[in-house]
C-alpha cells in the first residue's frame, strides 16, 4: 500500500534539524549500501519541499527551558474548510502536558483530538493562541502501512536519517538504539512486509525515535491492531517515556482500556479540553458520564 503524502510529510517535517545534504549509510540484508542510500536520498529529495515549517506569529516553537511542561497551549483556535465556509474545529483550547510523561487524549469522534495533534506536529497552524512545545517532534499515524515504506526494518528506521550527513556507524547506532527502545532489535534485518501490524507500528515508532525527538505524537496507533499487538505497542511507548525522562508522548485514543498505561489524560469535547487528570480521575469522570467498559 503506498504511503500517504501527509504521513511522509510528517516524517520529514518533524525534525527541526533538516539538512540540504541527505544520505543514509545504514545497510540491510536485502539491499547493498549504495542501493539503500540511493533509495533513501531519492525519497528525501522528493519530499524536500516539505522539510521546513514556517513560523507563526500565534505560536511559539519551543517551551521555556525551565518549564516542567513539554506542551503548553493557551487559547488555541483553528478553523478549517474553504474560504467563506470555514468551520471552527478548536475553540479556545488549553492544555499542559508534563515533560517525560505518556499523556492520553480522549474524546468522541470529531471533537478535535487528531486536529490538535496535527497542530502540535506543525502540520496545521492555528488562527490564534499560544502553542509552546519541546522540539524536535516525531509523528506516528494510526495505519503503519502508510508510514513503514522501506523494504527492511533497518532501512525504514534509518529513513529520516537519510537527510543528514552522518557516519555509517552513527546511523547504525541510532537504528539499534531506537529498535531496542521498542523491543524490535531482533527484527533489524527482517523484511517489513513479513511483520504483524503491531510490529510494523513499533517500527514506525522506532523510525521517529531514531531522530531523537523530545515529543512523540501518536494518533490512534492501535486502531488496526489485535489485542496482543495493541498492548505490545502501548508497553513500548510507556517504556520509552519511562526510560527517557526527557521524551514526552501524546497518545490519541478512543479506547478507554488504554488508560492503564497513561501517566495522565485529557478529555476533549467540541474542540476544547474539558478535563485533565490522572488515569483514575479520568475513569471516574467517564463513569459519571455513563461511559461503558470502564474497569
- 48-94 per-position pLDDT tens digit: 433 333 333 334 444 445 688 999 999 999 999 988 889 999 999 99
Please tell me the pTM assigned to this model.
0.77
Name the nearest CA neighbour of 154 among 236, 22, 39. 39
Would you say residue 146 has pLDDT above 70?
yes
* pLDDT confidence of residue 18: 31
Of the candidate ranges 31-45, 67-81, 237-251, the one whose mean pLDDT is the lowest: 31-45
Instruction: Tell me whether strands 69-80 and 128-133 are parallel, antiparallel or unpaired.
Output: antiparallel
Q: Where are the alpha helices (DSSP H) in 90-167?
A: 113-120, 153-157
What is the span of the domain harbouring residue 219?
Answer: 1-295
Would you say residue 29 has pLDDT above 80?
no
CA distance 256 to 267: 11
What does the chain come to in residues? 295
Q: Select, from the ranges 124-128, 162-166, 287-291, the one with the highest average predicted confidence (pLDDT).
A: 124-128
Q: Quick one: average pLDDT of 250-259?
A: 92
The domain tally of the chain equals 1
CATH number of the domain within which 251 lies: 3.40.50.300
Q: How confident is the model at residue 293 (pLDDT cuts 50, 70, 90)?
A: low
Amino acid at each position: 500500500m503506498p504511503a500517504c503524502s501527509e504521513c511522509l510529510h510528517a516524517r520529514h517535517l518533524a525534525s527541526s534539524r533538516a539538512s540540504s545534504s541527505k544520505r543514509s549509510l545504514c545497510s540491510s540484508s536485502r539491499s547493498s549500501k549504495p542501493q539503500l542510500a540511493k533509495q533513501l536520498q531519492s525519497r528525501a529529495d522528493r519530499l524536500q519541499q516539505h522539510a521546513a515549517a514556517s513560523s507563526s506569529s500565534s505560536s511559539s516553537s519551543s517551551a521555556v527551558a525551565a518549564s516542567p511542561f513539554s506542551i503548553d497551549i493557551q487559547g488555541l483556535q483553528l478553523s478549517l474548510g474553504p474560504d467563506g465556509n470555514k468551520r471552527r474545529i478548536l475553540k479556545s483550547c488549553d492544555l499542559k502536558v508534563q515533560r517525560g510523561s505518556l499523556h492520553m487524549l480522549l474524546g468522541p469522534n470529531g471533537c478535535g483530538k487528531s486536529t490538535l495533534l496535527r497542530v502540535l506536529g506543525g502540520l496545521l497552524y492555528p488562527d490564534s493562541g499560544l502553542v509552546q512545545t519541546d522540539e524536535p517532534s516525531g509523528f506516528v499515524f494510526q495505519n503503519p502501512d502508510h508510514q513503514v515504506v522501506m523494504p527492511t526494518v533497518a532501512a525504514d528506521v534509518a529513513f529520516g536519517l537519510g537527510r543528514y550527513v552522518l557516519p555509517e556507524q552513527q546511523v547504525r547506532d541510532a537504528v539499534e538504539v531506537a529498535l531496542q527502545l521498542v523491543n524490535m532489535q531482533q527484527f533489524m534485518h527482517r523484511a517489513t512486509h513479513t511483520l504483524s501490524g503491531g510490529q510494523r507500528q513499533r517500527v514506525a515508532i522506532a523510525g521517529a525515535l531514531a531522530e531523537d525527538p523530545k515529543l512523540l505524537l501518536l494518533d490512534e496507533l492501535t486502531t488496526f491492531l489485535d489485542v496482543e499487538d495493541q498492548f505490545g505497542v502501548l508497553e513500548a511507548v510507556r517504556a520509552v517515556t519511562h526510560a527517557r525522562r526527557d521524551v514526552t508522548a501524546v497518545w490519541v485514543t478512543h479506547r478507554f482500556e488504554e488508560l492503564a498505561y497513561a501517566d495522565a489524560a485529557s478529555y476533549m469535547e467540541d474542540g476544547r479540553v474539558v478535563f485533565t487528570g490522572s488515569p483514575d480521575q479520568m475513569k471516574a469522570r467517564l463513569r459519571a458520564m455513563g461511559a461503558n467498559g470502564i474497569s
